[in-house]
Amino acid sequence: MYAMDNSYKYFKRDISWLSFNYRVLMEAEDETLPIYGRIKFLSIYSSNLEEFYEIRVADHRGVIMKKNYTEESSAEAEATLAEITQEVNRQQREYYRIFYKMILPELERQNIILYQSCDPEPFHEEFVRNFFNEEVFPFLAPVMIQAGDIRTFIRDRRLYLVIRMVKKSKKILKLDYTPEYHYALMKIPFSKVPRFIELPRHDGKFYIMFIDDIIRANLASIFPGYVVESSYSIKISRDADIYIDDEKEGNLIEKLRKNLKKRKIGALSRFMYDSSMPADFLAFICNAFNIQKDDLVLGGRYSNLQDLSKLPNPRGKELEQSVPPPMRIPFLDEIGSMFRAIKKKDILLHFPYQSFDYLLRFLMEAALDPKTEEIKITQYRVAENSAVINTLISAAKNGKKVTVFVELKARFDEENNMSTAALMEQAGIRIIYSIPGLKVHAKVAVILRKNTDEGKKRRDFAYLSTGNFNEKTAKIYSDMALLTSNAEIITDINQVFAILEERQQIKTIFRHLLVARFNMVPELINMIHREIAHVKEGGFGRIILKMNGLHDQNMINELYSASENGVKIDLIVRGICCLVPNQTYSANIRITRIVDMFLEHARIWYFYNDGKEDLYLSSADWMRRNLSRRIETAFPILDPDIKQDIINILNIQLQDNVKACYIDEHLHNHFKHDDSPTKVRSQRAIYEYLKEKK
């Protein structure tokens, strides 16, 4: 669980991440949530774990197989994989306990029966048989398998049944007769039929059946010459990372296209199987497909349970978690023009509490404004059929110069980014592609305008955010964004785009922005040291850091040092956190994790600074990759009212005693439940706070 550096301890990155994912699973246990809200967290947990195996576990296996060259040794990779397997197997047992002992009984109390058998009730037998024959059977392609089978390839992220049977012609003559088994593999046709089938309602109850079980119920008709003995679900996860040497010259798009094809046939990283499968059956399958013991992960009767997000809800909204609608901002609605509003003052947008529509209005106004000369924007992850992209295309068609930096290497968004980039190029938008060896993760846009009024300074506008230009994730990710016309900040943003456009390490000085690989790390260290100095001078030192991940050992060491020197530190870290609390050198550090209806995604850095209070919003986590291998930005909040609002929001999160957990030295999540009569569920409380501010 721990790595060591001198006297300091650090949690292993991947074991820490598993602690976060277990916290997601804990939400499925929360009986105060509506049942479909709890089911959603089962789905999220499974989806998270899928990606974890495709990327992180595959990375460790690559080290062992000498495919990846990192600081990690083969022995370290093997030890970490053993820890991962042990913890995942423990969590999988918890997962199925929650599913069978808590979720299914609660569904039944709501008169919703999710079949757990391939034997339908008599009143459903005809429906199941007819549905199978008409909707499923045409898409099945079973394959007989045998030991050492090299013809059959098991796709990743697909659900399969393995079937064991004996020929009907074999007669059992003796009591000790050993049957000659035959085996088959069959892919569930997930793209042709839904995972869950709603059956006819009966006696006031709703019935739902896994497509897996509908197929199981009809196996005899698929294999008419055999007696089916048993069947079990299996699934495989494969290495989905894309290894591209983009330091050298060459067409990055072509390299990406070629490597995306390889993603489907990547090396094995997990073989999940039904834990009730007999040992000899499992041994045969492992032998047939060359699956090693270290690849095995316990599963249950049903795999791919991220599909639970699609479980039909015949009762409607009453069984789902209510999410408050995004708020309008009266000041912006009344003033009409986004530009006029930003000229008056900086504006903070807080998604999804407030509407993402204001960003679209900002870009559309730029697209139509005759004074707009140029729009520059970064693209990391955008929605499919993106309204943001459509607005930029509109701007180009209106004669504006539009420049978009597209990060092609955004994992799992490579294809979408390539297609949207091509669409924009066709519309006349200038596209700048990925920088070799780096990812650009900054979320910034700038509107450059003509100066038509003599004697007046030109007014440009900027948008800086902690999250992507993505209207879909803005409904579920909690992010903050700043709209400003501050000339010095805009000058800094223009220098960031100069770096992106010129693709070289320009020597530059940023007045306000902190930019990774330039001044971000030195300035952060200076601010930490300043808090230490205030304490040594008899004052008070205070740091609050909110982010998604904390992994960089150098920055953790700085926080350990600050704690040793008496600086009070609160960390609000949703995901990976490698800092170990409750040690002598971390006695002044508390770690809070919040998991609720929205994904906590904003990065906020607060330094007390002897009462002057410096506050930054950022696109960057304190991960090694963010601070050293990406272009990231952090921007200061200079407006005193906005600054106070964000500080108040941070304090609301620190007061959360409903959905917040402390992380202890064993990576356990301990709810901050207390005896206070006032219950603070921070996401609800933030919504009410912003509603009152309206």
Active site residues: 441
From the CA atom positions of the chain, what is the Rg in Å? 28
- Between CA 461 and CA 448 the distance in angstroms is 7
- For residue 163, list its beta bridge partners: 184, 231
Beta-carbon contacts of 493 under 8 Å, excluding residues fewer than 6 positions away, are 376, 444, 446, 462, 464, 513
Strand ranges, E, within 362-469: 372-379, 401-406, 430-433, 439-440, 444-449, 461-465
Round to the nearest angstrom and report the end-to-end CA distance of the chain. 47
Residue 126's Cβ-count burial label (10 Å; 0-12, 13-18, 19+) is exposed
- For residue 464, list its beta bridge partners: 444, 482
Q: Give buried/exposed letters for 400-434 (b at 16+ CB in 10 A, else e).
A: bebbbbbbbbbeebbebbbebbeebeeeebeebbb
Are the CB atoms for 591 and 504 separated by under 8 Å? no
Residue of 430, 307, 434, 455 lying closest to 376 (CA atoms) = 430
Residue of 179, 195, 187 lying closest to 222 (CA atoms) = 187
Q: What is the DSSP letter of 641?
A: H
- Between CA 498 and CA 383 the distance in angstroms is 26
Are the CB atoms for 255 and 244 separated by under 8 Å? yes
Residue 17's Cβ-count burial label (10 Å; 0-12, 13-18, 19+) is buried
222 membership: H or E segment, kind and range: helix 219-222
Residue 241's Cβ-count burial label (10 Å; 0-12, 13-18, 19+) is middle
- Between CA 426 and CA 274 the distance in angstroms is 49
Q: Cβ–Cβ contacts within 10 Å for residue 615, how many?
A: 20
Encoded amino acid at 345, one letter: K
**In the structure encoding, which two tokens stand for residue 159, read together?**
């659900």
Are the CB atoms for 275 and 100 separated by under 8 Å? no
H-assigned helices in 252-326: 252-263, 279-288
- Between CA 146 and CA 151 the distance in angstroms is 10
Packing angle of the helix pair 553-564, 520-536 (nearest 10 deg): 10
Cα separation values, 407 from 432, 451, 547, Å: 9, 32, 22
Residue 371's Cβ-side half-sphere holds a number of Cα atoms within 13 Å equal to 13
- Measured in degrees and rounded to the nearest 5, phi and psi for residue 322 equal -80, 130
Cis peptide before 105 (omega within 30 of 0): no
Handedness of CA 386, 388, 394, 400 (dihedral sign): negative
Encoded amino acid at 476, one letter: I
Cα separation values, 364 from 361, 385, 394, 426, 462, Å: 5, 16, 8, 19, 14
Encoded amino acid at 127, one letter: F
- Between CA 632 and CA 253 the distance in angstroms is 23
- Between CA 46 and CA 88 the distance in angstroms is 11
